[in-house]
Amino acid sequence: MGKIIDGKAIAAEIRSEVKESVAALKSVGVTPGLAVILAGDDAASQIYVKNKAKACDEAGIYSEVVRLPGDVDERRLLETVEILNRRDDIHGILVQLPLPKHINEKTVIEKISKEKDVDAFSFENVGRIMTGHGAFLPCTPAGVIELLERSGVEIEGKNCVVVGRSDIVGKPLAMMLLSKNGTVEVCHSKTEDLAEHTKRADILAVAIGKPKFISADMVKDGAVVIDVGINRDENGKVCGDVDFERVLPKCSLITPVPGGVGPMTVAMLLKNTLAAAQMRNGTGEN
């Protein structure tokens, strides 16, 4: 029977560590600040932003939500980003995605100063990740690495298979596993005989957005399975990309959905915001 990785508990550890470091920074007169830009009234985005603000408050990080109407024009949005770029009390800027369809997301993200791009979505920060010198790491993939390392999983030398090639999760996660000396393979919707690839994985990370897509016969005995997916099954219940109940007995470690990777994303956002403030104050590395 596989052991369940408790993402909530590990995220709580990280948030506690961040809180201690924030307190130390405040003692020298610096309060880390995060600004979140929310355009429109998407229900899911509203919840995500509320949760981020709550997490910041608990960690002692100043948070500010800039709310803009759904019909905001791109020029005003870019001006908003530039104002936040110039503010000394804001160390991290996050644009809540998705943006309204008439807005070019890449254009907006590129407007964020790289020193404040705590989502690490800009071309420059992505490039730095490719070379192993990222100032910040994308929150969800970075959370996956933390889950593995804090669970005692050795990445070096292991066969790592990532199913999914998104710019936000799949691609950066592959690069991070490679930087940890894993032997990495990226699979996707066009991969032939997908099961032949996943069955070779010592570490299998799945982020494809298909409920319960990975079945037990696609998983190697004793594998570590990381499920990044968040879906709803035929009964409306939240589930991941992995058929958890059937895969659990076969693997050595597995993340549940919910309660696995999800809590880590916010924890890593706090960690990135702290790092941005430390670099600005000269106490961190650039």
- Residue 238 makes CB contacts below 8 A (sequence gap 6+) with 230, 231, 232, 257, 258
Q: What is the CATH number of the domain that holds 252?
A: 3.40.50.720
Is the same domain home to 148 and 80? no
* pLDDT tops 80 at residue 132: no
pLDDT at residue 282 in the model:
77
Alpha-carbon distance of 244 to 219, in angstroms, equals 11
Kindly report whether the global pTM for this prediction surpasses the value 0.95. Answer: no
Is the same domain home to 257 and 145? yes
pLDDT digits (tens, 9 = 90+) for 93-129: 999 999 999 999 999 999 999 999 999 988 888 888 8
pLDDT at residue 274 in the model:
97
Q: Considering 113, 128, 160, which residue would you say is the last residue of a domain?
A: 113
Q: What is the dihedral sign for C-alpha 17, 63, 37, 115?
A: negative
Is the same domain home to 229 and 161? yes
pLDDT digits (tens, 9 = 90+) for 200-234: 999 999 999 999 999 999 999 999 999 999 999 88
Q: Per the domain annotation, does 12 fall within a domain?
A: no
Q: Per the domain annotation, does 86 fall within a domain?
A: yes
Q: Per the domain annotation, does 282 fall within a domain?
A: no
Comparing 107 with 283, which gets the higher pLDDT?
107
| Structural domain count, the chain | 2
Give catalytic residues, as residue numbers: 52, 96, 119
Phi, psi of 71 (to 5 degrees): -95, 15
Q: Per the domain annotation, does 22 fall within a domain?
A: no
Is the same domain home to 57 and 151? no
In terms of residue numbers, what domain contains 103? Answer: 29-113
Q: Per the domain annotation, does 122 fall within a domain?
A: no
Q: What is the CATH number of the domain that holds 51?
A: 3.40.50.10860
Q: Per the domain annotation, does 82 fall within a domain?
A: yes
Is the same domain home to 144 and 255? yes
Q: Per the domain annotation, does 21 fall within a domain?
A: no
Is the same domain home to 153 and 230? yes
pLDDT digits (tens, 9 = 90+) for 17-59: 999 999 999 999 999 999 999 999 888 899 999 999 999 999 9
Composition of the chain by helix, strand, coil, percent to 5: 40, 15, 40
pLDDT digits (tens, 9 = 90+) for 165-197: 999 999 999 999 999 999 999 999 899 999 999
Which tokens is 196 given?
A: 């032949």
pLDDT at residue 286 in the model:
44
pLDDT at residue 21 in the model:
97
Alpha-carbon distance of 212 to 233, in angstroms, equals 8
Is the same domain home to 170 and 248? yes
Q: Per the domain annotation, does 48 fall within a domain?
A: yes
Q: Where is average pLDDT lowest: 5-14, 31-40, 62-71, 134-143?
A: 134-143
Contact 161, 203 (CB under 8 A): yes
Is the same domain home to 257 and 144? yes
Is the same domain home to 79 and 175? no
Is the same domain home to 215 and 105? no
